[in-house]
Amino acid sequence: MAEFTTVDRYPQNNVSSLSILYVEDEEAIRSSLSRMLKRRTEFLIVAENGAEGLEQFKECKPDIVITDIRMPVMDGLTMIAHIREIDQNVPIIITTGHNDEQFFMRSIELGVDKYVKKPVDSKELLAAIVKLSHAIIQQKELHAKNKFILDLMDINPSYLAMLNADGVQYLNQSFMHFLDVKSVEDFAYRYGSLASLIVERDSTLTGDDVLGQWVYERTAGYNTDSIFQVKLPHLTEAQSFLINAVVIPATSQEYLLTITDITKFEKDKQRYQFLAEHDALTKVFNRNKINKELEREVTRVMRYKQRLSLLMIDIDFFKKVNDNYGHQIGDIVLIEIAALMQDRIRKTDVLGRFGGEEFVILMPSTPLDNAAEIADRIRKYVSINNFTTVGHVTCSIGVAEYHHGEMLSDFIKRADDALYLAKDNGRDRVEVGRIE
C-alpha cells in the first residue's frame, strides 16, 4: 500500500493563496528559506527581528507566522505574545535550534501550533505549512460565506436583529440607519435595549436577553407575525412594526428578529377603515356602520338583558335651507349639527348619519324615559344654536326602546314612526314610540 505524507494529503496549491510572515535574524537561513517560500506563495513578508516582524504583522495581517526564537531587538516569544494580543487564532510555527524547556513551556502558553528544529528541513516546514493551510482555507471559506450572508442581511430593507442570552449581538445596516446608530455598542449606549422601545409590553419582557424568546412565543412559535408599537425617543408618536422571530438552528440559543416597518400601511388601513365607516361630509358614522352597531348592540342586549334606546333625528324644513342658501351652506349646517350632537352625547352613545338630513343616536344601557329626556335636551341645543348664514333651525326626534325578542327592523320602524309623529305634530319636538 502506498504511503502518503502530509504534503500529499493536503494540496500544496492551498498555500499559494495564503500570506506568510517569516521572521529570521540569520541572513543565510532567511535567504534560503525565503527562496523556498516564494516558490510556494505570492504573499511572503520577511522580517529580520521580532520588532520588525510585529510591525509587519500589524500592517499586513498575514495568515501564517513563521519565526525564530532568539533574535536581537525583540525575541520571537515576545513578538508572539504581542501578536496573540492582536489575534488569538493566527497559526504560528517556531523554528529553533534550542531544547530549553522554558522556551517550550512558554511557547505552549502562547498557543504555538508547530515546532521545526534547526537546521530547517524545507520539506518538514512545507508539510507543516500545508497542514495548517487546510484549516485556514476552510476558515476563510466559512468567513466568506458568513460575510456574504451578512452583506445580504445588511441590504435587506427589513430591519434585522440577532439576539442571545447576552442581548443584541447584531443589527443590520438598514436597522442601524433607522435607529441612527453606527454599531451595536452605539445602540446599547443610546437606547439600552430593543425591549425598552416596545410599547405595551408585559412584565416578563425585562430586557433583550429574553426579547427573542418573548417574540418567538408570540410569533414564530405559532407560525404567525405580530404587530408591535415601537416608540423611539426622537419621534413624537409610536410606529407600527411587524415582528417575526426564528430560532437560529446552529445554536438554538440565538434568535433572528425580522422587523418590518408597517407604519404607513397601518395608517393607510386606519384611514381606509375610517372612510368605510364614516360619513364623508359630517365625519360621524355612516349608515352601514350604524346598522352593524345596531346589530351588535341588540345581540349584547339579548345576551345580558340590558337596555337600548334609539333616537331618530330629522332637521326640520331642511329643503328650504338648500333652496334658499344653496347646498354648500346646507352642507355646513349638517356638519355643525353633527358636531353639536357629538359634543352633547355620552362616550358610550353612537352617533351616525342615516341619510340626507337624518341622524340616529344609539344609546346603550338607557331606558326609554331617560333617552327621551336626552333627546329633548339635544332638540333644545339645536333650536337655540346660531348656525352659519341660516341662523336658527330646528329638529324633530323620535325615540324607541328595544324590546327583547323583537325584530331589528321593527325596532327601527318604531323610532322612525315616532319621528314622523313629531313632524306631523308640529316639528321641533320629541315623540316616543311605545309598544301598545
- Give pLDDT tens digits for 43-60: 889 999 999 999 999 998
Which of 79-93, 165-179, 259-273, 337-351 is modeled with the greatest confidence? 337-351
Of 2-11, 75-84, 255-264, 417-426, least confident by mean pLDDT is: 2-11
Q: Average model confidence (pLDDT) for the chain?
A: 85
Write down the pLDDT at residue 412.
Answer: 94
pLDDT over 50 at 312, yes or no: yes
Distance CA 312, CA 352 (A): 10
User: Does residue 2 carry a pLDDT above 90?
Assistant: no
Which pLDDT belongs to residue 98? 67
The reported pLDDT for the residue numbered 1 is: 38
Mean pLDDT to the nearest integer, 149-170: 81
What pLDDT does 6 receive?
A: 40
pLDDT-derived band at 8, boundaries 50, 70, 90: very low
The yes-or-no verdict on residue 88 having pLDDT over 50 is: yes
pLDDT at 220 over 60: no
Measured between alpha carbons, how far is 40 from 299 in angstroms, rounded to an integer? Answer: 86
Lowest-confidence pick of 47-56, 203-212, 410-419: 203-212
pLDDT of residue 13: 53
Residue 238 contacts residue 266 (beta carbons within 8 Å): no
Chain Cα centroid distance, residue 113? 45
Question: What DSSP state is assigned to residue 345?
Answer: S
350-355 vs 255-261, strand pairing mode = unpaired
Q: Say which DSSP state 14 is in.
A: G
Q: What is the mean pLDDT of residues 218-237?
A: 68
CA distances from 102 to 75, 117, 126, 171 (A): 14, 16, 26, 46
When pLDDT is averaged across residues 326-333 and rounded to a whole number, the result is 95
Task: Give 146's pLDDT tier (boundaries 50, 70, 90).
Answer: low
Gap between the Cα atoms of 112 and 76, Å rounded: 11
Those residues with Cβ within 8 angstroms of residue 114's Cβ, 6 or more apart along the chain or in another chain: 91, 92, 93, 94, 128, 132
CATH placement of domain 6-146 = 3.40.50.2300
**Helix, strand counts (H, E) of the chain:** 15, 15
Contact between 399 and 311 under an 8 Å Cβ cutoff? The reply is yes
- The pLDDT of residue 124 is 85
pLDDT in the model for residue 3: 40
pLDDT band for position 286 (cuts 50, 70, 90)? very high
List, for residues 64-83, the tens digit of each pLDDT value.
898 888 888 898 889 888 99
Helix (H) or strand (E) holding 293: helix 287-304
pLDDT at 251 over 50: yes
Reduced to 3 states, what is the DSSP secondary structure of residue 405? Answer: coil
Active site residues: 357
Q: Is the pLDDT of residue 10 over 50?
A: no
Please report, as a single letter, which amino acid is at residue 150: L
Comparison of pLDDT for 229 and 68, the residue scoring more:
68
Find the mean pLDDT for residues 340-365.
95
What value does the mean pLDDT take over residues 362-383?
Answer: 96
Say what the pLDDT of residue 70 is: 84
Is a pLDDT exceeding 70 seen at residue 207?
yes
Q: Where in the chain is the domain with CATH 3.30.450.20?
A: 156-266
Closest CA to 301 of 151, 395, 408, 176: 408
Q: Is the pLDDT of residue 42 over 80?
A: no
Average pLDDT value for residue range 200-213 = 74
Fold entry, domain 156-266: Beta-Lactamase (3.30.450)
Partners of 47 in beta bridges: 23
Least confident of 70-79, 139-148, 394-403: 139-148
Confidence band for 138, pLDDT divided at 50, 70 and 90? confident
Q: In this prediction, what percent of the chain has a pLDDT beyond 70? A: 91
Q: What are the start and end residues of each CATH 3.40.50.2300 domain in the chain?
A: 6-146
In the chain, CATH 3.30.70.270 sits at 278-433
pLDDT the model gives residue 159: 87
Sign of the CA dihedral with 48 first, then 52, 54, and 60 last: negative
The CATH topology of domain 278-433 is Alpha-Beta Plaits (3.30.70)
Instruction: Fill in the DSSP letter of residue 46.
Output: E
In what order do the strands lie in the sheet containing 64-68? 43-47, 19-23, 64-68, 92-96, 114-117
Contacts of 50 (CB under 8 A, 6+ apart): 23, 67, 71, 73, 74, 75, 76, 78, 79
Q: What is the DSSP string of 201-256?
A: --TT--SHHHHHHHHHHHTGGGT--EEEEE--TT-SS-EEEEEEEEE-TTTSS-EE
Q: State the cell numbers at 203.
A: 412584565
* Closest among 308, 429, 316 to 361, alpha carbons compared: 308
Question: For residue 102, what pLDDT is reported?
Answer: 65
Average of per-residue pLDDT across 228-240: 77
Q: How confident is the model at residue 33 (pLDDT cuts 50, 70, 90)?
A: confident
pLDDT at residue 274 in the model: 87
Going by the DSSP 8-state scheme, the letter that residue 168 receives in this structure is E
Question: Residue with C-alpha cell 364614516?
Answer: 278
Answer yes or no: is pLDDT of 310 > 90: yes
Q: Which range (53-62, 185-194, 367-376) has the least confidence?
A: 185-194
Q: Which amino acid is at 391?
A: G
Q: Is the pLDDT score of 114 beyond 50?
A: yes
Is omega for the bond preceding 119 within 30 degrees of 0, making it cis? yes
